[in-house]
Amino acid sequence: MPKAVVLGAAGRVQPRDRDRGFATDSTRLGGIGQPLALLLKANPLVTELGLFDIVNTPGVAADLSHISTPAKVEGYLPPDDGLKKALTGADLVVIPAGVPRKPGINAGIVRDLATGIATTAPKAFILVISNPVNSTVPIVAEVLKKHSVFDPKKLFGVTTLDVVRASTFVAEILGDLSKAPSVVVPVVGGHSGVTIVPLLSQSSSPLPASFASADLDKLTNRIQFGGDEVVQAKAGTGSATLSMAYAGAEFATKILKAIAGEKGIVAPSYVHLSADAAGGEALKKEIGQDLEFFSSNVEIGPEGVAKIHPLGKITEYEQKLVKAAVPELAGNIEKGVNFIKAPKL
Ligand SMILES: NC(=O)C1=CN([C@@H]2O[C@H](COP(=O)(O)OP(=O)(O)OC[C@H]3O[C@@H](n4cnc5c(N)ncnc54)[C@H](O)[C@@H]3O)[C@@H](O)[C@H]2O)C=CC1
Ligand SMILES: O=C([O-])CC(=O)C(=O)O
């Protein structure tokens, strides 16, 4: 009977919130939280759906509650212990709260929400969407460690949008978008720029033989900087929201299936490398550095991470991409850790 909770679920920012720094434009489409909550409400595996935000959740919850699917929906605001009420009994907590491209603000928001999870739902699976994921996931881990409730098997940075983009772009190149749902391309590393490493040589649908190295550069760059493509098209009013909601719901569904006992659930995710001692250590050897977090294909069971898969056979080109990603990731992880451990430094 899984209860899913979305922290940052209201999405549509009111003009008055501009003064509080939550958005620069009230005409923006309205965030990840709302469409993600819609997709979770539509998922029959969810029996309870808790929505928390600093604005609008009662309205969003009332609206969603009329949809004829099993989940009972409740919306909560900060007054009267709203966060605690939203998190009570949560099996799965998804965090899209924050502001696009404002890493400093997001760090504080994620820290505070993680504190709520540590005290109210320490056994829940935690799915972090708020950017920069490479740093916000270590922030959540440090908060949980401080409260002595850190379970590395249950903390996930959501990198699914990179995987979704890679599938779509490869299907486009193959000239057959109907293949997009079935093309599988592992994307490893982290979730920003050069830390995003698509392993196109492992694509389930091989690229055309005519694919030149310049084409490979172009495709790799498009996957790494897909977020910029959307930011530019939205002309300053926000970043990817609908595709992220789709990706977030897809990953959440995998977790819900794993909780329900389904076997063989594998997805790339940014996880703590101690989550599975054997797999994590082997992965550290492959990437040549003792990183605390890295995204790779992860097998998920009812207790969380069951196995972290190795990168496997990768090309020289991909090895170079991994080499470029590692130092950047190390810096991002350190920033997140220091935000909690040494906030004044
Ligand atoms: N992991 C990924 O692949 C992606 C991550 N993102 C990130 O997701 C985050 C959200 O993006 P959008 O939905 O477009 O932003 P948005 O500004 O439209 O929505 C964020 C929501 O968070 C809420 N919020 C702010 N402070 C809060 C708090 N303390 N507690 C609860 N809710 C709070 C806001 O009221 C708003 O409803 C950003 O950090 C963005 O960069 C965006 C796209 C992809
Ligand atoms: O680029 C951004 O700001 C949002 C994001 O993470 C993405 O679209 O992948």
pLDDT averaged per 10 residues, the chain (length 345): 91 52 44 95 97 92 97 95 98 94 92 98 98 98 98 97 98 96 97 97 93 94 97 90 97 97 96 86 94 97 96 96 98 97 75
Query: What pLDDT does 237 receive?
Result: 82
Correct CATH for 3-157 of 3.20.20.70, 3.40.50.720, 3.40.50.300, 3.40.718.10:
3.40.50.720
Query: What pLDDT does 49 receive?
Result: 98
Cβ atoms of residues 89 and 3 within 8 Å: yes
Q: For residue 295, give the nearest of 140, 141, 224, 189 by alpha carbon.
A: 189
Ligand 1: lining residues by beta carbon, under 6 Å: 7-8, 10-11, 13, 22-23, 31-33, 52-55, 96-100, 106, 109, 113, 129-131, 133, 158, 161, 191, 238-241, 244
**Measured from the CA of 230, which atom of ligand 2 is nearest?**
8
238 Cβ closer than 6 Å to some ligand 2 atom:
no
Query: What pLDDT does 95 receive?
Result: 97
Query: Would you give the end-to-end CA distance of the chain in angstroms?
Result: 44
- For the question of an ipTM over 0.85, the answer is yes
160-339 has the same fold as 3-157: no
Ligand that lies nearest to the alpha carbon of residue 226, given by its number in the listed order? 2
A 10 A CB-CB count for 310 gives 15
Ligand that lies nearest to the alpha carbon of residue 129, given by its number in the listed order? 1
Is 309 among the residues known to form the active site? no
Catalytic residue among 147, 191, 272, 309, which? 191
**Measured from the CA of 243, which atom of ligand 2 is nearest?**
8
Distance CA 68, CA 103 (A): 38
CATH code: domain 160-339 is: 3.90.110.10
Q: Which residue is listed with tokens 């994620």? A: 110
* Ranges of each domain in the chain: 3-157, 160-339
> The pTM is what?
0.95
Query: What pLDDT does 344 receive?
Result: 67
CA distances from 44 to 47, 67, 162 (A): 7, 12, 26
Cis link prior to 132 (omega < 30° from 0)? Answer: yes
Question: What does the block give as tokens for 238?
Answer: 């926000």
